[in-house]
Amino acid sequence: MLQVQSAIWCRPRGRLLADQDANAGVIDHGPITPEREARASAIALAISRVAEHGVFRPRCLARAVALQRLLRREGIGGSRVRVGVRRVEGCLDAHAWVELNGLVLGDRVERVGGFAPFPSITVLEHVES
């Protein structure tokens, strides 16, 4: 989580997210079986607990990016970091979460349902200089 937060702090604005098409070559790790879905949910729960009880309180984007990276490391492909916006009392509010095969991970469906998600973005793993 700290590595992801550091990347968010150190990268220039706009250099963490890109069009989903930029990662068209991402390896597909096969279908999402009930076992893989259960493992993904367990990883999401672990991220939530670290965020709640860890040394610092990462914001939603750091949690979402960390979750997606851990899922990939576990061989669970196909997850997407979603970013959505909503208007609250005249101000724009944004939120990030992860979806896997239509399942919201690490967040409540009721919470993310209030946001209008951007259609297709992805998190950049490496940034060219």
Closest C-alpha to 83, from 48, 51, 115, 45? 115
Closest C-alpha to 98, from 58, 61, 125? 61
The rounded percent of the chain whose pLDDT value lies above 70 is: 69
Q: Which pLDDT band holds residue 17 (cuts at 50, 70, 90)?
A: low
In this prediction, residue 87 carries a pLDDT of 92
Q: What is the pTM of this model?
A: 0.74
Q: Domain for residue 129, yes or no?
A: no
In this prediction, residue 25 carries a pLDDT of 41
Tell me which of 19 and 83 has the higher pLDDT: 83
> pLDDT of 20-42, one tens digit each?
434 434 455 567 789 999 999 99
In this prediction, residue 6 carries a pLDDT of 65
Q: Domain for residue 43, yes or no?
A: yes
Q: Domain for residue 128, yes or no?
A: no
Distance, CA of 71 to CA of 76 (rounded, Å): 5
> pLDDT of 93-108, one tens digit each?
999 999 998 899 989 9
In this prediction, residue 109 carries a pLDDT of 94
Q: Which pLDDT band holds residue 120 (cuts at 50, 70, 90)?
A: low
Q: Domain for residue 101, yes or no?
A: yes
Which helix (H) or strand (E) is 118 found in, with range? none
How many domains in the chain? Answer: 1
Domain that holds residue 50: 2-26+34-123
Contact 87/93 with Cβ under 8 angstroms?
yes
In this prediction, residue 44 carries a pLDDT of 96
